[in-house]
Chains A and B, each alone.
Chain A
Amino acid sequence: MGTDTTIGRGHFSDGLTAARTEVDVAVEAAALVVLGPGRVRRVVWPLLDLRPVDVPGHGAEVTVTCIAAPDARLTLVGEAVVGALLAAAPQVAPKPAGPTGRSLLAWAVGGIVVTTLVLVSLPAITALAARLLPPSVERVWGDQVYAQVRLLLGPEECTETQGFAALERLVGRLAVAAGLEATDPFTIHVLPSSMVNAFALPGGHVVVLDGLLRKAAGPDDVAGVLAHEIAHVARRHVTQRAVRDFGLDLALTATTGSGGMGEIGRSLVALAYSRDDEREADEAAVTILAGAGLKADRLGPFLETMTAGRKTDGGPAHRSDGEGAAGYLTIISTHPATAERIAILGELALAHADTGETALSATEWAALQTICEN
């Protein structure tokens, strides 16, 4: 053996059995040698053929294998021989387990920055993606969703001629003011449900429920609601929301798995964007009403009516017990707290306080109120 050989102790498994033997090892100029009894050279592994075995590093031990004997394992014990091997065959140096200290901070900060960027740019990305959805696809999808709504609320539609004509005229004015093109799909439906509600579906379907028509104090209340829903259609909120939910699902599943926490996180983020949409629709509604030359100050008060169960013509007051609870429920509701919306709408309406004409004539309003009596 040459003078640049280091000898030390080690453990050896030959890979043929699970036995492990204490051996002497020699780190030579070109090979790592396992010595048997009497210093016989039992196993010779060229340094270049050594490969590290994935064990966490610590200074006094290193484990290696050889490409010619991939099942065998040799562990060197003792700083001298370990140091000699690492100097002669640096490729077997153990790798650290995971990032710590500054590295850890860098990864954590990087992760937070990227996630924030994604969430912030998501509206722009989804708006773009929603625009790329072919209108024909959206129409088919919208028809399917509307069919399901009919399944839930009953197959009847309210189509009493005069009432429906009045409605279509009003809707037409609002659609023009909203900038909807003749080619944009848009259909208005009235369904005979006593629920006080109206909503927009994909493909330009807007559904108004009879309960809402009955609860309204006058045609301007209804016009406000219609303007809000048409704003959703014009801004393509419904499609964008679907694309965004899908995108969020994809992004957050990739990073957080589909466990319970992922679901909750996804829901919270999705709901936050929903509330942004509602706010935008409220603002757009006022603009649309004003643009159509109609009264623009009834949406806020009507909202208040619907949620507090009180008619503004001085009827019996029924305050909702739930209003207080609704405060903390904001974060889980798709609509910003109603009080907040009413306040914002009130401010927006100030600019249009005494302008605009009533949405429908007395005859038209009477006809609309009986639209579900066929």
Chain B
Amino acid sequence: MNTPPPFGTATVTLNRPGGRALMTDAPSGPMIGLSFKNWLLTILTLGLYSFWAKTNVRRFLWSHTLAYGERLEYTGTGKELFIGTLVVAVAVFAPLAALGTVSQYLIESGEPGLGAAVQAFQVVAILYLVNVGVYRALRYRLSRTRWRGVRFGMAGGGWLYGLRAFGWMLLTGLTLGLLVPLQTASLTRRLWGEARFGDAAFTFTGRAGELYKAFFVAMAGMVVAVAIVVGSFAAAGGAAVLAAMEQSDTAMDDGGDEDAVADSLPAADDAGVTPDIDGDGVPDVVTGPPLSPLPFLSLIVAIPLGMLSLVYYQAATIRFLFNNLRLGDIRFRADVGAGSLFALAFVNLLIAAASLTILTPYTTLRTLRYLCDKVEMDGEPDFAAIGQNRQAVPGSGEGLVSVFDATDM
């Protein structure tokens, strides 16, 4: 710009309150109160209020997040989420559900091939749309976020992204998960490469190689955990355990299959003779050595090992995502470790469980605090050079992730 700034040159200096460019001052008490309020109103409205509940949680969290000392704004409304869901329910979900019925009908009226094809098409369509929904959900949230009045944004409808993501889903599935780091790197680049703050673009430059080290360590951990479980069950006479569990002997079952196996297993009598109560010459149940506790003890070791491996990889992924993300001159930096991430996740799980998930928004607050503590922004961007976002703004949002249940916040 050539004209002198009309308000003088006293640009607000970039604040780093407490030395941090990114921080949150969200208070716990009001968030807990908000969680209860959301919960009650959602029950009373049989779930209808959930759109407004989500919105006011986001407004709370966004407005308590500060970048360079200034707050983010969330400008979305519950009505937009509601309409987004309604549109998808009518225009997408209903036809797909109808396809399901059609395929059932075809199968039952003697056209199994055609029926299976229709069903396959329905499944493929749903998987594709879920991936499109991920793109569109981010786009909606970005378009409803402002800082200093400047909007974030994202172009495009997500249709091509959905195709790529679906393709990666297949590829990763076929290779039994070995391509997960590649998938993460590629899709994140495509997703965040389209994101904007004003007219400044985000860029993601992460290469999968960085993530593979952690990936293989985590895989090793998982393999060891599974081996421990399998090995100890095999050692304890796995065949006998399985056979005994198949004999569901509980009286007067009403068709459910949640019977306690324990109160229906006759055990071998003391002489070690196979019981044959009804005397028809056929043994009543396959007997074997009594169930030793070893297989179950192994779970005490294997489950934490498995979970730690997952958390280890998750922490590496978070570091990978932030460390390679840029916005113009701003570089992000994340210092997330597996231990602290595990502690966060574990306590969040306890809180959610103890409150029967009423306090889930509060756990989101804890996660926000954690991230703001671990993530930092480096660089001195020239904000005067960033213009307002002029992209078309989606009218409503998140219908796809809402209907296909792929949303987390």
Q: A residues touching B (Cβ–Cβ < 8 Å)?
A: 11-23, 34, 36-37, 42, 53-56, 65, 71-73, 96-100, 103-104, 107-108, 110-111, 114-115, 118, 145, 149, 194-201, 212, 214-215, 225, 228-229, 232, 237-238, 250-251, 253-259, 261-262, 265, 271, 274, 277-278, 302-303, 306-307, 309, 311, 315-316, 318-323, 325-326, 329, 332-335, 338
Stretch at the interface among B63-71, B177-185, B231-239: B63-71
| B64 near A56: Cβ-Cβ < 8 Å | yes
| Proximity string of chain B (49-61) to chain A, C-beta cutoff 8 Å, 1 when within and 0 when not | 0100000100110
Q: How far is the CA of A73 from the CA of B405 in the complex (A)?
A: 36
Residue of A nearest to B29 (CB): A100
Stretch at the interface among B86-94, B297-305, B378-386: B378-386
Residue of A nearest to B66 (CB): A55
Q: Given A111-B358, A326-B260, are A22 and B10 also a contact pair (CB < 8 Å)?
A: yes
Q: How far is the CA of A315 from the CA of B277 in the complex (A)?
A: 8
Question: Which A residues touch B147, using CB under 8 A?
Answer: 18
Question: Which A residues touch B71, using CB under 8 A?
Answer: 55-56
Beyond A97-B34, A145-B255, A306-B249, 13 additional pairs, beta carbon < 8 A: A17-B383, A18-B148, A18-B384, A99-B33, A107-B37, A111-B39, A197-B248, A199-B253, A250-B47, A261-B357, A318-B267, A320-B263, A335-B250
Q: Given A99-B37, A107-B37, are A274 and B256 also a contact pair (CB < 8 Å)?
A: yes
Question: Which B residues touch A215, using CB under 8 A?
Answer: 277-278
Question: Which A residues touch B360, using CB under 8 A?
Answer: 257, 259
| Proximity string of chain B (25-39) to chain A, C-beta cutoff 8 Å, 1 when within and 0 when not | 001011111101101
Q: Given A255-B47, A322-B264, are A21 and B8 also a contact pair (CB < 8 Å)?
A: yes
Counting contact residues on chain B (CB < 8 A from A), the size range is 35 or more
Q: How far is the CA of A373 from the CA of B7 in the complex (A)?
A: 100
Question: Which A residues touch B37, using CB under 8 A?
Answer: 98-99, 107
| B87–chain A nearest beta-carbon distance, Å | 20
| A114 near B253: Cβ-Cβ < 8 Å | no
Question: Which of B10, B46, B60, B250 interacts with A307 by CB under 8 Å?
Answer: B250
Question: Which of A104, A251, A262 interacts with B357 by CB under 8 Å?
Answer: A262
| B252–chain A nearest beta-carbon distance, Å | 6
10 smallest CB-CB distances across A and B, nearest first, come from A254-B47, A322-B262, A98-B30, A326-B263, A98-B34, A99-B33, A104-B33, A309-B266, A19-B384, A111-B40
Q: How far is the CA of A303 from the CA of B250 in the complex (A)?
A: 9
| Proximity string of chain B (265-295) to chain A, C-beta cutoff 8 Å, 1 when within and 0 when not | 1110100000101101010100000100000
| A17 near B198: Cβ-Cβ < 8 Å | yes
| A72 near B262: Cβ-Cβ < 8 Å | no
| Proximity string of chain B (358-400) to chain A, C-beta cutoff 8 Å, 1 when within and 0 when not | 1010000000000000000000000111111000000000000
Residue of A nearest to B355 (CB): A261
| A100 near B8: Cβ-Cβ < 8 Å | no
| A318 near B198: Cβ-Cβ < 8 Å | no
| B33 near A107: Cβ-Cβ < 8 Å | yes
Residues of A contacting B: mostly = mixed
Judge whether B126 is part of the interface by a CB distance below 8 angstroms. no
| A23 near B47: Cβ-Cβ < 8 Å | no
Q: How far is the CA of A326 from the CA of B265 in the complex (A)?
A: 11
Judge whether B5 is part of the interface by a CB distance below 8 angstroms. yes
Residue of B nearest to A145 (CB): B255
Q: How far is the CA of A99 from the CA of B40 in the complex (A)?
A: 13
| A112–chain B nearest beta-carbon distance, Å | 9
Q: Given A225-B252, A325-B262, are A18 and B43 also a contact pair (CB < 8 Å)?
A: no
Judge whether B42 is part of the interface by a CB distance below 8 angstroms. yes
Question: Which A residues touch B7, using CB under 8 A?
Answer: 12, 14, 21, 23, 34, 36-37, 42
Question: Which B residues touch A232, using CB under 8 A?
Answer: 254
With contacts defined as CB atoms under 8 Å apart, how many contacts are there between chain A and chain B in the complex? 264
Question: Which of A12, A111, A145, A302 interacts with B43 by CB under 8 Å?
Answer: A111
Question: Which B residues touch A19, using CB under 8 A?
Answer: 5, 11, 148, 383-384
| A22 near B253: Cβ-Cβ < 8 Å | no
Residue of A nearest to B259 (CB): A333
**Which of A145, A195, A237 has the most B CB atoms < 10 Å from its CB?**
A195
Q: B residues touching A (Cβ–Cβ < 8 Å)?
A: 5-12, 27, 29-34, 36-37, 39-40, 42-44, 46-47, 50, 56, 59-60, 63-64, 70-71, 73-75, 147-151, 197-198, 247-256, 258-267, 269, 275, 277-278, 280, 282, 284, 290, 352-353, 356-358, 360, 383-388, 405
| A311 near B260: Cβ-Cβ < 8 Å | no
| A225–chain B nearest beta-carbon distance, Å | 6
Q: How far is the CA of A307 from the CA of B247 in the complex (A)?
A: 13
Question: Which A residues touch B266, using CB under 8 A?
Answer: 309, 318, 320
Q: Given A19-B383, A197-B253, are A71 and B388 also a contact pair (CB < 8 Å)?
A: yes
Question: Which A residues touch B352, using CB under 8 A?
Answer: 259, 261
Question: Which B residues touch A253, using CB under 8 A?
Answer: 47
Question: Which A residues touch B27, using CB under 8 A?
Answer: 97
| B36 near A99: Cβ-Cβ < 8 Å | yes
| A13 near B148: Cβ-Cβ < 8 Å | yes
Question: Which A residues touch B248, using CB under 8 A?
Answer: 195, 197
| A17 near B59: Cβ-Cβ < 8 Å | no
Question: Which B residues touch A104, using CB under 8 A?
Answer: 29, 32-33, 36
| A196–chain B nearest beta-carbon distance, Å | 6
Residue of B nearest to A114 (CB): B43
Question: Which of A42, A229, A309 interacts with B275 by CB under 8 Å?
Answer: A309
Residue of B nearest to A315 (CB): B277
Residue of A nearest to B64 (CB): A56
Q: Given A97-B30, A265-B356, are A18 and B150 also a contact pair (CB < 8 Å)?
A: yes
Residue of B nearest to A229 (CB): B252
| B43 near A98: Cβ-Cβ < 8 Å | no
| B249 near A54: Cβ-Cβ < 8 Å | no
Question: Which B residues touch A201, using CB under 8 A?
Answer: 255
| B384 near A261: Cβ-Cβ < 8 Å | no
Residue of A nearest to B279 (CB): A315
| B47 near A42: Cβ-Cβ < 8 Å | no
| A361–chain B nearest beta-carbon distance, Å | 22
| B149 near A329: Cβ-Cβ < 8 Å | no
| B39–chain A nearest beta-carbon distance, Å | 5
| A22 near B11: Cβ-Cβ < 8 Å | yes
| B357 near A197: Cβ-Cβ < 8 Å | no
**Which of B46, B149, B269 has the most A CB atoms < 10 Å from its CB?**
B149
